[in-house]
Amino acid sequence: MDLTPTPSQTVGPYLHLGLTDRGSIPRVAGDGTTGERLWLTFRVLDGEGVPVPDAMIELWQADSDGNYVQRDNGAAGVAFSGFGRLATAEDGSCTFETIRPGRVAGPGETLQAPHINVSILGRGILKRLSTRVYFAGEPANDADPILALVPENRRPTLFAQPDTARTNNWIFHVRLRGEGETVFFDV
């Protein structure tokens, strides 16, 4: 049997039917999860700056101790699964409730800065786009081994910014193409 991985195809405009009508997960961290609670809003914009109303965002993150918890999000008593999934609304946005992740081991002896792994899917996106959310003002960012791989002038595209109007709210823009284009990773 040929073990070349199966090719990706776009999720298409009707992704909600299969993925988010029943399978939305806006809360990555439920009540009682240890850590700094925050609300993280994504806004997805296309190459002309127009909001993308039919994208889907998935999150994968460590807990506040820097551990990835691979257990069923629906299991009784599980408050934190590290996984979130939402479709964007007409204005291209969606908001997750989570906690700031801890630091995770990086290549070699390094320690990564707190970050959230992100998948972006949508009509016109033939294979998943991957990026990372880091937090602006986090002192550990300066020594993060992955940020160090990104040209300095593009690094700011990976920083969520605090929403000055609302405490504990952060915003992250996904610019798919063109000016201020978000850094995407080849994972």
Work out whether 21 is an interface residue with another protein (CB under 8 A): yes
* Minimum gap (Å) between residue 132 Cβ and another protein: 8
Which positions ≥6 away from 34 have C-beta within 8 Å? 63, 64, 65, 99
Contact residues for 108 (Cβ-Cβ < 8 A; gap 6+): 145
Please report where in the chains the tokens 């807990």 appear, as a residue: 63
Taking CB under 8 A as the rule, which mask of x and - marks residues 97-136 in contact with another protein?
A: -----xxxxxxxx-xx--x-x-x-xxxxxxxxxx-x----
60 to 79: interface string for another protein, x by CB under 8 A: x-x--xxxxxxxxxxxx---
Tell me: does residue 29 bind another protein (CB under 8 A): no
Taking CB under 8 A as the criterion, which residues in 43-62 touch another protein? 46-48, 50, 52, 54, 58, 60, 62
Q: How many residues bind another protein (CB under 8 A)?
A: 84
User: CA-CA distance, 171 to 163, in Å (whole number)?
Assistant: 6
At CA 34, angle to CA 169 and CA 81, rounded to 5?
A: 85
Smaller CB distance to another protein: residue 145 or 162?
145
